A and B are shown apart, each in its own frame.
Chain A
């Protein structure tokens, strides 16, 4: 069995390619937060306390648009609803752990670490396999905090024309490259994407993320059932 540290390092190695787009994302967040009126301390505090790129960007967007605190908090909750599903997926691998480890790992359960470690956890059954998730999460933590910091310092000197925010959908797209090879997954992707795009302005509280995800899962339930009937 590999040592805890070795698995931790493997988590770092595996998640590293996904960290490249996190760099512009963190910088953009730092720059934007100062721009919409948060102090440098609050901006850094947001990255430390919330530690979630999508949540923090949604927070900024709604804050600058003058949304009420209740709407901002519920929207952040809706954007984060995907973590419920991540948690449900990885909890199977963590159920033997002590509560303190569950508390620590929960803080690191972010998109990139989940995507990478979910693959690892499925293939490996060693008892200390969760160190992979800690390694991936900790790597992302370091990158996120340092790029937030540099974003605050750099401020407005990053040209907006570069359109670096486009790196965000590209990152998520890159996480799906294997799923584009499977027919049912393609249907699920299209349904979820269409619901999110067309519901974006109509579904209240930015809940389009959870509504789209549930539509996608519902599609998966129906199609996998149909597939079984024909097998």
Chain B
């Protein structure tokens, strides 16, 4: 498969995952219980991106010792919960990460 074909197919599948539910689901299909469960969607999905990016290194190995990302992520989480600020969360995380890898 050529690179362009690969890009095109990945684009199609990405678009369809976005479009299918918007096009298919009707307002009446939602009751309070479904709404309640769907409110947990961000909590259910984002950790699946966050955790592997912190705990698994570039070679696919689980990395728990000597891993500055874990400490930086914990600091960012605490700052985030206290300040409720998106920017403060991201910058405290990056700043502590750089502090740990360059200065410690």
- Name A's B-contacting residues (CB within 8 A): 17-18, 20-21, 38-39, 42, 45-46, 49-52, 54-55, 59, 63, 69, 72-73, 76-77, 80-92, 94-96, 99, 102-103, 105-107, 109, 115, 118, 161-163, 165-181, 184-185, 188-190, 192-197, 200-201, 208-209, 212-217, 219-221, 224
Q: How far is the CA of A158 from the CA of B67 in the complex (A)?
A: 23
- B6–A69 touching, CB < 8 Å: yes
- A216–B38 touching, CB < 8 Å: no
- B90–A167 touching, CB < 8 Å: yes
B104 at the interface (CB under 8 A from A): no
Which B residues touch A69, using CB under 8 A? Answer: 1, 5-6, 9
Closest to B72 in A: A166
Chain B interface, >50% SS class? helix
Can you list, as one digit per residue, whether each of B32-71 has a CB less than 8 Å from chain A (1) or not (0)? 0001111011111111111111111000101000000100
Which A residues touch B35, using CB under 8 A? Answer: 92
- Name B's A-contacting residues (CB within 8 A): 1, 3-11, 13-15, 17-27, 30, 35-38, 40-56, 60, 62, 69, 72-73, 76-77, 80-81, 83-87, 89-90, 93-94, 97-98, 101
- In the assembled complex, how far is the CB of residue A99 from the closest CB belonging to chain B, in whole angstroms? 7
Which B residues touch A192, using CB under 8 A? Answer: 43-48, 51
- A216–B44 touching, CB < 8 Å: yes
Which B residues touch A219, using CB under 8 A? Answer: 44
Which B residues touch A18, using CB under 8 A? Answer: 86
Q: How far is the CA of A200 from the CA of B10 in the complex (A)?
A: 21
- A189–B47 touching, CB < 8 Å: yes
Which A residues touch B3, using CB under 8 A? Answer: 38-39, 42
Which B residues touch A90, using CB under 8 A? Answer: 22
- A76–B13 touching, CB < 8 Å: yes
- A176–B43 touching, CB < 8 Å: yes
- In the assembled complex, how far is the CB of residue A94 from the closest CB belonging to chain B, in whole angstroms? 6
**Given known contacts A52-B14, A59-B10, A173-B50, what 9 new A-B pairs fall within 8 Å (CB)?**
A69-B9, A91-B24, A107-B15, A163-B97, A192-B43, A193-B48, A196-B52, A197-B62, A209-B48
- B10–A73 touching, CB < 8 Å: yes
Q: Kindly identify which residue among A49, A189, A209, A213 contacts B7, using a CB–CB cutoff of 8 Å.
A: A49
- A51–B14 touching, CB < 8 Å: yes
On whether A213 and B48 interact (CB within 8 A), knowing A59-B10, A85-B38, the answer reads: yes
- A171–B90 touching, CB < 8 Å: yes
- B42–A76 touching, CB < 8 Å: no
